[in-house]
Amino acid sequence: MKYKMSSDEPVEQDIAPIKKTPPNRLVIGVIILVGVAAFFAGSYMANPSSDQISREDLDEAIAKLELRILQDRQPAQMPVKISADDDPIIGDPDAPITIIEFSDFQCPFCARFHTQTLPSILKEYVEQGKVRLVFRDFPIQSIHPNALPAAVAAECANDQGRFKGMHDILFDRQNEWSSLDTTGALAMFVQYASEVQLEQESFSLCLTDGEQVAEIQRDIDDGRRYDVTGTPGFFIGNDEIGYVVLKGAQPFENFERIIDSQLEA
């Protein structure tokens, strides 16, 4: 079966993450120190009888200032509400912080995130109930002809409650199916379905009936509204504090700074 998206699908490029030169760390440090000094000067004036500043107060002040700096460094703040739609969730659905990922299963940078960064996020935050990961599809079909069929395979696995198993195997074995023609890729996905213990007949029917394409198209349409132009793309936060944008296969430390600051805000 040949999968097609709407005719207005723009030509997009799967580009490597562009590492902008970060602001000088010394400058950031000075900003934080000045801000903390001002914060505690105000606290002292309000409470001149207090003996000393507690470590907890210091940590809280620094965390709030770091969050403000991280948010100010973003090219643009996103609207308060970024829809998670009804897409697959990895982690506690009630976790305080959400990472909404727009991804392409055939994208090599998405695979890099999966192998190099996601394990630390899962260990440090998702498994601790602090973060939930929402996976939204953004297949760039113009350069990744098997990305849409792979997204369909993952959606079909999600219908049987085994999204993560298919998600993991698609990224772990990207080199196996990425260069195949569509027919070969679909046959490979059926094999993967057996490995993650899906009911084969239901999966095969879902894989070829095209019904999942509408769901994937909604993800693409939402991604465009949120100015997603490449993969992977991340929105980190919640409806109350808004979302910080990260683009590309960023290292764990960049997620860590943002998440920790949001959790302590």
Q: What are phi and psi of 226, to 5 degrees?
A: -95, 15
Q: Return the closest-CA partner of residue 180 out of 216, 208, 144, 226.
A: 144
pLDDT in the model for residue 84: 82
Indicate the SS3 state at residue 202: helix
Domain assignment present for residue 145? The answer is: yes
Q: What tokens appear for 18 in the block?
A: 């562009």
pLDDT in the model for residue 115: 95
Give tens-digit pLDDT for 5-47.
433 333 333 543 333 334 333 333 333 333 433 333 333 333 4
Distance of alpha carbon 89 from alpha carbon 211, whole angstroms: 20
pLDDT in the model for residue 60: 53
Domain span including residue 44: 25-73
Domain assignment present for residue 151? The answer is: yes
Give tens-digit pLDDT for 213-243.
999 999 999 999 999 999 999 999 999 889 9
Distance of alpha carbon 236 from alpha carbon 101, whole angstroms: 9
- With tokens 């949120």, the residue in question is 226
Distance of alpha carbon 265 from alpha carbon 261, whole angstroms: 6
Domain assignment present for residue 66? The answer is: yes
* Residue 4 DSSP symbol: -
Domain assignment present for residue 7? The answer is: no
For the chain, what percentages of helix, strand and coil (3-state, to nearest 5) are there?
A: 50, 10, 40
* Residue 8 DSSP symbol: T
pLDDT in the model for residue 230: 94
For the chain, give the longest Cα–Cα distance.
76
What's the burial of 195, exposed, middle or buried (CB within 10 Å: 0-12/13-18/19+)?
exposed
Domain assignment present for residue 82? The answer is: no
- Clarify whether residues 136 and 227 are in a common domain: yes
Give tens-digit pLDDT for 101-143.
999 999 999 999 999 999 999 999 999 999 999 999 999 999 9
Query: Could you please report the per-residue DSSP string of 89-157?
Result: EES-TT-SEEEEEEE-TT-HHHHHIIIIIHHHHIIIIITTTSEEEEEEE---TTT-TTHHHHHHHHHHH
pLDDT in the model for residue 78: 52
Distance of alpha carbon 125 from alpha carbon 119, whole angstroms: 10
- Clarify whether residues 163 and 248 are in a common domain: yes
Indicate the SS3 state at residue 33: helix
pLDDT in the model for residue 86: 83
- Clarify whether residues 58 and 128 are in a common domain: no
Tell me how many domains the chain contains. Answer: 2
